[in-house]
Amino acid sequence: MLRIGMLLVYALLALVGVTWIMLFMRRITAEKVGKIWGITAIVALALGLYWGLLWAPPDVLMGDVYRIMYVHFPSWVGTFAGYLAGFICSLIYLRTRNMSFDSWANAAIEVGLVFNATGLITGSIWGRPTWGVWWTWDPRLTWVAIMAVTFAGYLVLRAFMEDPEGRARSSAAVAIVGFATLPIVYFSVRWWRTLHQPQSSPETIDPQMVLPLRTMMIAFLLVFGYLLTRRYMLARIESEVELAALTLDELEPEVTGG
């Protein structure tokens, strides 16, 4: 089961890689690739949930409550993927001034924030039975909160600015500055004495726990990809609406003055 499962995980990972490359090289549309990721995500989620909730053994110290890890950690994979993609697309936007990269950045950060929310909520639920508290101002948790507020600020800024180019420039700057919180969040468990445990590695946990964790990580990446493509398509339609409204505003005085 373990070997077959791992092969399946690598096949899923290869699918994610190949489709990303095809999307980057414009050999496939965002809509099509989103559909592929969406359908594959359902299969991966079903497998990951079965392996994580029913097949993997309980933890020696935490018992069954550790199974929250199978949604908690993949949520952070989705969060980091979103913010990293947002950072890269913002840099490309500032260099090329191509508005489609602004739409990609907007989509990636919004979807990243959704996973940031699930990561915080599941972490809080996991903290209660293991630490005895729902929340504590420990360095890891505090930096995660700062990161979430920064990227929420990115979306608020976008909502309040009307000029498309000014909005794209300002929000790209916020995304780049906000990205600085990512390495701090990642290394906070090593830099400071925190309640949160340091990162685990496949060598330190049971292989029967590694399989569902990897499957759920890939499943969440696929869900992230699906949502990213949908949110990107929405951003493109919204900018077309915005452009059409601006064109109409310019035309109307001529029409009425006609």
Partner 1 sequence: MANAGYIIAAYGITAIVVVGYTLMLWKRMARARAELELQEGRDRGNA
Binding residues vs partner 1 (CB under 8 A): 49, 53, 63-65, 67-68, 71-72, 75, 111, 114, 117-118, 121-122, 125-126, 128-129, 223, 226-227, 230-231, 233-234, 237-238, 240-241, 244-245, 247-248, 251-252, 255
**What's the closest the beta carbon of residue 255 comes to partner 1, in angstroms?**
5
Closest to 178 (Cα-Cα) out of 153, 204, 141: 153
Nearer to partner 1, 95 or 128 (CB): 128
The tokens for 18 are: 């190949």
Nearer to partner 1, 114 or 161 (CB): 114
The tokens for 130 are: 């293991």
**What's the closest the beta carbon of residue 173 comes to partner 1, in angstroms?**
26
CB atoms near residue 189 (< 10 Å): 18
Closest to 140 (Cα-Cα) out of 118, 152, 121, 123: 123
Nearer to partner 1, 7 or 248 (CB): 248
The tokens for 113 are: 């924030």
End-to-end CA distance of the chain: 75
Nearer to partner 1, 7 or 251 (CB): 251
Nearer to partner 1, 91 or 99 (CB): 99
**What's the closest the beta carbon of residue 83 comes to partner 1, in angstroms?**
16
**What's the closest the beta carbon of residue 17 comes to partner 1, in angstroms?**
23
**What's the closest the beta carbon of residue 180 comes to partner 1, in angstroms?**
26
The tokens for 152 are: 């929420």
Nearer to partner 1, 29 or 247 (CB): 247
Nearer to partner 1, 199 or 247 (CB): 247
The tokens for 134 are: 């729902």
DSSP string, 144-176: HHHHHHHHHHHHHHHHH---HHHHHHHHHHHHH
**What's the closest the beta carbon of residue 203 comes to partner 1, in angstroms?**
26
Per the CB < 8 A criterion, the answer to whether 146 and 181 are in contact is yes
**What's the closest the beta carbon of residue 49 comes to partner 1, in angstroms?**
8
- The string over 55-80, giving b where at least 16 C-beta atoms fall within 10 Å of a residue's C-beta and e elsewhere, is ebeeeeeeeeebbbbbbbbbbbbbbb
Closest to 188 (Cα-Cα) out of 231, 225, 147, 233: 147
